[in-house]
Amino acid sequence: MALLDALRRSGGVWFGWSGEISERERRTPKLQHHSALTVATLDLTSDDYEDYYNGFANSTLWPLFHYRLDLATFDREHYQGYLKVNQRFAHALLPLLKAGDHVWVHDYHLMACGEELRRMGCTSPMGFFLHIPFPAREVLTALPTHDVLVRALFSYDVIGFQTEGDRDCFLDYVVKEAGGRILGHDRVQAYGREVVVAAFPIGIDAGAFARYATTREAGEHAARMRRVLNDRQAILGVDRLDYSKGLPERFRAFERLLADYPENRGRASYIQIAPRSRSDVQDYVDIRHELETLSGRINSEYSEFDWTPLRYINRSFSRRALAGLFRIARIGLVTPLRDGMNLVAKEYVAAQSPRDPGVLVLSRFAGAARHADGAVIVNPYDVGGVADALQRALNMPLAERKERWRTLVEGVRRDDVMAWRESFLERLYAVR
């Protein structure tokens, strides 16, 4: 969605996985033409899906880049599968490129794609943007192929990260492990190439999301939630079901809130929306079981016949519906253990009513915290500290809530998705 407007205006190709699995390996992408935009997709084979997607991408890179070495697996077959798919994608993309094209590759699934394009003779300017965190050097070097992956990134001309912290971790690796040099003006030299390395924090379309919050669909979902709450204050979390989101810690913090501040019993309700993801990966099965156990325990301990403390929902909602729920929630609870940016935090801010805004309680380990002066910043590992923050937010005066929201929404509007896109493309278009 972030790139669609740019592609519609300039024309171009969106290329990636179709989301489908087939037993026959196709090397020619399926093409769909929509005016100036072409959508090109490849299927994965079942072996590709296991080795590349479930394997190296989501059982090695995802946990490693989120500082979960305890969950990361290091399997040579998975790594070879990752390289194979990156190479196949590059071979399928190259015939679609024309003179004057620029290539922008996204995220950890395709880190090695640019290197293969260069190997085949592609001279187009190429950029890469990492949507997830980049880990500290001491964590990254646990990956047996860390040097190969970082070298591959130097096939790109512009390398972008969500935050200055992620960029600094990358630069620390380049200098201390690869013997690179920082040249100034965001330029870095290593592996015989000179590239741009910078932070480009991603945003949302703040105006569109604010309008979603006032649509009929949003109003209907907000009204349903009000009926369920029965004038109680809502604490709302919306996250993909993933161990990086800190959901068990969040459940325990709410439990601590009820234990340490009993006046909230019957006064506040916590609603956690967590659509399932990667349900065929064991780590995700385990966290789902843990959350079901925790929610059952909390509700068993504190429920009254007319009040359910915690509502845990494993399904997705439309963006308009979520905007309506965000708008009436007193607290937006966004406490990942590690996150590249976390756009839910920005959506919560954009959806608020200026007359009666809620409070954003935000993890210090989310990229969004770098530019969220109006949020209540917490350490998600500190269960008691998060409970204290929830108590503070539930009792925050209207004047303070308005002041904090004004500071937050100004940043969300300024650093929106268009600013992110244009700032990256400006650097990429400057490549000669």
Catalytic positions: 131, 339
Angle at 65 between CA 382 and CA 289, to 5 degrees: 60
| Distance (Å, whole) CA 419 – CA 205 | 10
DSSP letters of 268-312?
EEEEEE-----TTSHHHHHHHHHHHHHHHHHHHHH-BTTB-SEEE
Residue 377 near residue 388 (C-beta atoms within 8 A): no
What is the distance of C-alpha 119 from the center of its chain? 31
Q: φ, ψ for residue 379 (rounded to 5)?
A: -95, 110
| Distance (Å, whole) CA 242 – CA 237 | 13
- Within 8 A by CB and 6+ apart from 432, the residues are none
Parallel, antiparallel, or unpaired for β 268-273 and 187-190?
A: unpaired
Q: φ, ψ for residue 44 (rounded to 5)?
A: -105, 150
Q: φ, ψ for residue 355 (rounded to 5)?
A: -80, -30
Residue 168 near residue 174 (C-beta atoms within 8 A): no
For residue 416, give the 3-state DSSP assignment. coil
Rg value, the chain, Cα: 23
Nearest-CA neighbor of 40 among 119, 85, 123, 97? Answer: 97
Nearest-CA neighbor of 222 among 127, 352, 324? Answer: 324
